[in-house]
């Protein structure tokens, strides 16, 4: 077969694949997850105005931009345009990370949260940090210290079987950039606290422990161990 007829065959395949990819892309469009509590339900620790803007505007923007980026990525894949694929990666990391991180964050919070973790999670915290208070102190310090915008994380290291505390810049997703499985994330972008706490990030981080959903964190640990 000549090179030209081979190219023709590839083009025909690409032409028949494009609608299929389009269908797949449409089917897999990401959407903003509903919260299981009202915007005002975390008051007085996080006020309703922050929650409404954070969920319906900020998270929604990550979702929309992720869908746009994935659509462009599908087009680049279909064309075999590696340059375009590479140039889309920062947008994929930022908006994909933003969607992943916020989706976890909403479930990490609950109006019935706070208190202390129980069961296996509590045992793992005591084993790896010494005490619950030590975990809170260490994670608060790492989270407050994030330079600019980012997240503090409690993650599970599948290789060692241990819990780890770390921080990620911007919207870098924990698992995609460090390999740790995310259990609990604290968003310290200013959009997460500025309307209520102004520039006093430590007060916001101190308050958020009152609404942490430890049941959700425990479920994530169980799932990470499988």
The alpha carbon of 100 is separated from its chain's Cα centroid by a whole number of angstroms, namely 3
Q: Which residue, 45 or 163, is less far from Fe ion as judged by CB?
A: 45
Is the Cβ of residue 100 or residue 192 nearer to Fe ion in the bound state?
Answer: 192
Q: Which of 189, 193, 197, 214 binds Fe ion (CB under 5 A)?
A: 189
Nearer to Fe ion among residue 129 and residue 189 (C-beta): 189
Q: CB of residue 153 vs Fe ion: minimum separation in angstroms?
A: 14
Q: Which is nearer to Fe ion, 132 or 194 (CB)?
A: 194
- Contacts with Fe ion by CB under 5 A: the residue count is 3
Distance in angstroms (rounded) separating the CA atoms of residues 168 and 159: 20
Quote the least distance from Cβ 102 to Fe ion, whole Å: 6
| Tokens 């279909």 found at | 78
Task: Confirm or reject binding of residue 70 to Fe ion (CB under 5 A).
Answer: no
Which one of 22-30, 68-76, 116-124, 189-197 is the stretch in contact with Fe ion (CB under 5 A)?
A: 189-197
At residue 103's C-alpha, the angle toward residues 99 and 107, to 5°, is: 165
Comparison of 151 and 156: residue with beta carbon closer to Fe ion: 151
Q: Which of 187, 196, 217, 224 is the binder for Fe ion (CB under 5 A)?
A: 187
What the block records as the tokens of 209 is: 């422990």
* Using rule CB under 5 A, residue 172 touches Fe ion: no
> Per CB under 5 A, which region of 7-15, 107-115, 118-126, 191-199 contacts Fe ion?
191-199
Q: Which residues bind Fe ion (CB under 5 A)?
A: 187, 189, 192
């Amino acid at each position: 077969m000549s090179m030209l007829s081979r190219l023709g065959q590839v083009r025909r395949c690409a032409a028949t694949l494009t609608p299929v990819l389009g269908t797949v892309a449409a089917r897999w469009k990401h959407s903003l997850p509903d919260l299981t509590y009202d915007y005002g339900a975390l008051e007085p620790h996080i006020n309703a105005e922050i929650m409404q803007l954070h969920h319906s505007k900020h998270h929604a923007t990550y979702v929309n931009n992720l869908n746009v980026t994935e659509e462009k990525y599908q087009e680049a894949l279909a064309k075999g345009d590696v340059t375009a694929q590479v140039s889309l990666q920062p947008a994929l990391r930022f908006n994909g990370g933003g969607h992943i991180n916020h989706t976890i964050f909403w479930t990490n919070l609950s109006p019935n949260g706070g208190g202390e973790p129980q069961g296996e999670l509590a045992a793992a915290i005591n084993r790896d940090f010494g005490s619950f208070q030590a975990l809170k102190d260490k994670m608060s310090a790492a989270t407050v210290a994030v330079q600019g915008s980012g997240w503090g994380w409690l993650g599970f290291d599948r290789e060692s079987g241990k819990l780890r505390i770390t921080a990620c810049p911007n919207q870098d997703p924990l698992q995609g950039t460090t390999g740790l499985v995310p259990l609990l994330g604290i968003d310290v972008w200013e959009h997460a606290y500025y309307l209520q706490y102004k520039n006093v990030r430590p007060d916001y981080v101190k308050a958020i422990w009152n609404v942490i959903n430890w049941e959700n964190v425990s479920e994530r640990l169980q799932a990470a161990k499988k």
